A and B are shown apart, each in its own frame.
Chain A
């Protein structure tokens, strides 16, 4: 494995950042501090962090409605994110986007998306652009198992394969789409088989194993950068919480989530065990990384809360470039 100690430390810290960010988002939402809807990616941290660990800073990602993790994994600033959730002018989108619409073009984050499958087409366009410009950039397009049923995937996937575009379609099979299990809505036996229809390799990976995700994405990224074309990668994981914050989860057995929350399956616990068991990290170091993440999120909340709301005049700004 070609990750340095510092990188491993960073990845572990980032997973906790995501966990605590979403915990905070949930608490703020329940406390009526947020508007609209908020989605958490608790239990899916390894997909976001593992995938983005294989990317350069100037590589692109497209994200989804469940996007806090993707954004933090690509290097997003928790302060600007939290301020955005709170609708403050210091937020990533000046308070105009909210939880579902965070973007940071400097980090290659082409935006979370309120439209299921909404990122798939534009991710493919970014890959086309990278190819045209000869920039060597690669795109990771995150989307859900539910989103895999959107027609745009058929169109964009075909184009990416036709033109050998540098893109990884990363489908997070978290087993749910909104208030239903996703499996009964996907006719094909295994999701990665959809790749055959596009004419690109279809791979699968344990999405709760950070290093496995990293290796899989890294392989696909290297191939894409070398002109080898797109990859369809399915990461198996689990949506531990409800579809939205406040979802009473009446449609699935409680034991199921409990199983995925257990240390055997929890992606952060799993990575922590590998760090200690195989890679010689001390428990105490991991604990302090966790504490640091918690402090970072506390700081982000304080920053957001202390930030002003936008002035009314901002309503008419940024409508046109």
Chain B
């Protein structure tokens, strides 16, 4: 199978969906002429013209507001918010408008929009450009939250997100754009709300999201050298969460490590742990281990930043902990 970068896979999804459906349009800062700060919207302007590939002023609230209104009136906007940190400026439009309209109006309107954005740390962008804010959106009923970790998933999920009739928060990771992986030629979709088992194993289950999936797979290699077979599950969609796939794995392994790049407190790891203990309490042989970012704003200095966000080694230790393998 051909290899594509995460960036190009996303780009291809946009090209395909815009060709397929004239209601789909793209808007955001520098998405047109420049092709996107992360080059995900490259080539769209030439093919689809200015009205469907709209370079906007630096006005995040306006971008998301415009997307909500266009979605309510028959279009399928894909709005790019360059960093998830900047989505804070558009919070009302996302949380109070987009997420609520369908329910609040008794099902009379739909808001089929996608907010494409990216988050995550690891490259010294400091406190206002490194956050993992996915749980802000997971917390809001009415929103769907997607976080692909591979080029294959990125393409298939973006296409599904665009076709979905609900507002979808589609969160990429700034350190994944240059990663490459197999992406088949031709049309395929990945359903929203379905997890993927990225690696099979029967000693411990590791659930990880976004870039942490890559870390978890690396950790699994290390663990394998030590005789521990880890099963790695990527939920791919954080909301709705595919709990069944996780529980099925835990019923096999009896041990669970949850890894997420967001801050620990009130985070994804706690959410998964709560659900799994209720669904599979009798199957658990050890406390559920949480690996997440320290509860601090991300620092600029590299030493500090790498200490703050989860590392491969943190995951290895957590998995060993779940098996009571750590010394002492």
**Chains A and B are bound partners:** yes
Residues on A close to B: CB < 8 A? 34-37, 84, 87-88, 93, 95-98, 100-101, 113-118, 146-147, 149-152, 177-180, 185-186, 251, 309-310, 312, 314-316, 319
Is the pair B61, A151 in contact by a Cβ cutoff of 8 Å?
yes
Tell whether B186 is near chain A: CB-to-CB under 8 Å. Answer: no
If A35-B124, A319-B295 touch, whether A310 touches B59 (CB-CB below 8 Å) is no
Closest to A145 in B: B58
- Please report which residues of chain B, range 251-275, place their CB below 8 angstroms from some CB of chain A when the two chains form the complex: none
Is the pair B303, A312 in contact by a Cβ cutoff of 8 Å?
yes
Is the pair B58, A315 in contact by a Cβ cutoff of 8 Å?
no
Closest to A115 in B: B128
Closest to A152 in B: B89
Q: Mark B289-320, 1 if CB is under 8 A from A, else 0.
A: 00000111101111110011000000000000
A87 to B302, CA, bound (A): 8
Is the pair B128, A315 in contact by a Cβ cutoff of 8 Å?
no
Task: Give which listed residue, B56, B60, B299, contacts A96 with CB less than 8 A.
Answer: B299
A36 to B323, CA, bound (A): 38
B191 vs chain A, min Cβ distance (A): 35
B85 contact set on A, CB distance < 8 A: 114-115
A178 contact set on B, CB distance < 8 A: 29-30, 34, 37, 58
Tell whether B62 is near chain A: CB-to-CB under 8 Å. Answer: yes
If A114-B126, A185-B55 touch, whether A180 touches B34 (CB-CB below 8 Å) is yes
B128 contact set on A, CB distance < 8 A: 100-101, 113-115, 118
Closest to B82 in A: A178
Task: Give which listed residue, B30, B59, B126, B129, contacts A151 with CB less than 8 A.
Answer: B59
* 10 further contact pairs, Cβ within 8 A, besides A116-B86, A185-B56, A315-B307: A97-B126, A97-B300, A101-B127, A113-B128, A114-B126, A114-B127, A149-B57, A150-B60, A179-B30, A251-B33
Closest to A244 in B: B37
A179 to B41, CA, bound (A): 14
Q: Mark B46-62, 1 if CB is under 8 A from A, else 0.
A: 00000000011111111
| Shortest 8 CB-CB contacts between residues of A and residues of B | A35-B124, A98-B300, A114-B128, A149-B57, A87-B301, A36-B124, A95-B301, A96-B299
Is the pair A315, B62 in contact by a Cβ cutoff of 8 Å?
no
A249 vs chain B, min Cβ distance (A): 12
B55 vs chain A, min Cβ distance (A): 6
If A37-B125, A146-B58, A151-B62 touch, whether A314 touches B304 (CB-CB below 8 Å) is yes
Task: Give which listed residue, A96, A147, A312, contacts B300 with CB less than 8 A.
Answer: A96
A312 to B304, CA, bound (A): 6
Task: Give which listed residue, B30, B37, B61, B126, contacts A98 with CB less than 8 A.
Answer: B126
Tell whether B23 is near chain A: CB-to-CB under 8 Å. Answer: no
Is the pair A95, B89 in contact by a Cβ cutoff of 8 Å?
no
B contacts with A: majority SS: loop
B62 vs chain A, min Cβ distance (A): 7
A contacts with B: majority SS: loop
B303 vs chain A, min Cβ distance (A): 6
Tell whether B139 is near chain A: CB-to-CB under 8 Å. Answer: no
B125 contact set on A, CB distance < 8 A: 35-37, 114
A21 to B307, CA, bound (A): 30
A152 to B91, CA, bound (A): 13
Q: List 11 A-B contacts (CB under 8 A).
A: A35-B124, A36-B129, A97-B300, A100-B129, A101-B126, A101-B300, A149-B58, A151-B61, A179-B37, A251-B34, A315-B308
Closest to B30 in A: A179
B295 contact set on A, CB distance < 8 A: 319
Closest to A250 in B: B34
B56 vs chain A, min Cβ distance (A): 7
Closest to B86 in A: A115
If A101-B127, A147-B58 touch, whether A310 touches B33 (CB-CB below 8 Å) is no
A36 to B128, CA, bound (A): 11
Is the pair B296, A316 in contact by a Cβ cutoff of 8 Å?
yes
A118 to B129, CA, bound (A): 13
A97 vs chain B, min Cβ distance (A): 6
Is the pair A177, B302 in contact by a Cβ cutoff of 8 Å?
no
B129 contact set on A, CB distance < 8 A: 36-37, 100, 114
Closest to B36 in A: A179
A150 to B89, CA, bound (A): 9
B301 contact set on A, CB distance < 8 A: 87-88, 95-96, 98, 309-310
A87 to B305, CA, bound (A): 11
A251 contact set on B, CB distance < 8 A: 33-34
A93 contact set on B, CB distance < 8 A: 300
B299 vs chain A, min Cβ distance (A): 4
A149 contact set on B, CB distance < 8 A: 57-59, 62
Is the pair A315, B304 in contact by a Cβ cutoff of 8 Å?
yes
A36 contact set on B, CB distance < 8 A: 123-126, 129, 300
B314 vs chain A, min Cβ distance (A): 14
A114 contact set on B, CB distance < 8 A: 85, 125-129
A185 contact set on B, CB distance < 8 A: 55-58
Most buried by A among B33, B59, B62, B297: B59
If A179-B34, A180-B55, A251-B34 touch, whether A315 touches B126 (CB-CB below 8 Å) is no
A116 to B125, CA, bound (A): 15
A30 vs chain B, min Cβ distance (A): 15
B89 vs chain A, min Cβ distance (A): 7
Is the pair A319, B29 in contact by a Cβ cutoff of 8 Å?
no
Is the pair A312, B307 in contact by a Cβ cutoff of 8 Å?
yes
A48 vs chain B, min Cβ distance (A): 21
A152 to B61, CA, bound (A): 10
B300 contact set on A, CB distance < 8 A: 35-36, 84, 87, 93, 95-98, 101
A224 to B123, CA, bound (A): 42
B299 contact set on A, CB distance < 8 A: 95-96, 310, 314-315
B62 contact set on A, CB distance < 8 A: 149, 151
If A115-B86, A185-B56 touch, whether A98 touches B124 (CB-CB below 8 Å) is yes
